[in-house]
Amino acid sequence: MTTIANDILAAIGGVPQTASDVVVEAIDVRKSFGRLQVLKGVSLTVGRAEVVVMIGASGSGKTTFIRCINHLEKIQAGRISVNGHLIGYREANGRLIEDREPNIARQRREIGMVFQRFNLFPHLTALGNVIEAPIRVRGVPEREAIETGRALLARVGLSAKEEAYPAQLSGGQQQRVAIARALAMKPALMLFDEPTSALDPEMIGEVLEVMQELAREGMTMIVVTHEMGFAREVADRVVMMDEGVIIEEGTPEHFFTAPEQERTKAFLSKIL
């Protein structure tokens, strides 16, 4: 399988829920690429059914952070837990050691991810994309996977497109298939990496509508986006990142009407 295919399968998963109200706990997360320090000590807690929207300028570390949550990027320091389970590492003698790949794969099943560029398998139909991971990763019987896949495509408004290939779909339709694919593994957490940035303006609404419905249904979500309307209407909390750190967070009401940091004010003045 190609590297891209492995990356896609690694990022889609699902897991049983725990009794805890905390889904994500990131503590002092640090990440560098060579000499470039991208995350400089990021801490964030996300509760069950909470929608957190992360904003900030390009290069502020937003995408790197959510890729660290499912261990698509390895961290150099700190720790990240999802549903109380360490992601990517295990503790031994007071130290964190990178876990074995089979264990990491199981950990990732807690997390679904929707990429900026759809990343659908081009040789599979819409339905084929949705059922691939449940069958291959979770061992779901094909008939059951197809039934669930069809229900999920209906949920995102694409019942009529189940036999269409990605190249036959619009960008908005492809992104909705990607959302259905992630949901097929019944994740405890959904990560969205600027899911509308590659779409034509008229297609953005159809994807945001699906995300709004997920929020209403109680899905725990971390969304990296520049869609401030979505943040105002759907987010429980908005987080501002700048130069690898979180500089401000709060409710949409506070964030958009009375931000405290000058950097936040300057950023919002350019996009609102």
φ and ψ at 260, to 5 degrees?
-95, -35
Beta bridge partners of 24: 46, 82
pLDDT (tens digit per residue) in 146-187: 999 999 999 999 999 999 999 999 999 999 999 999 999 999
Query: pTM of this prediction?
Result: 0.89
Inter-CA distances, 205 with 38, 42, 183, 194, Å: 31, 31, 19, 14
The model's confidence at residue 236, banded by pLDDT at 50, 70 and 90, is: very high
Q: Is 70 helix (H, G, I), strand (E, B) or coil?
A: coil
The model's confidence at residue 11, banded by pLDDT at 50, 70 and 90, is: low
The model's confidence at residue 16, banded by pLDDT at 50, 70 and 90, is: very low
Q: Is the pLDDT of residue 29 over 80?
A: yes
pLDDT (tens digit per residue) in 191-223: 999 999 989 988 999 999 999 999 999 999 999
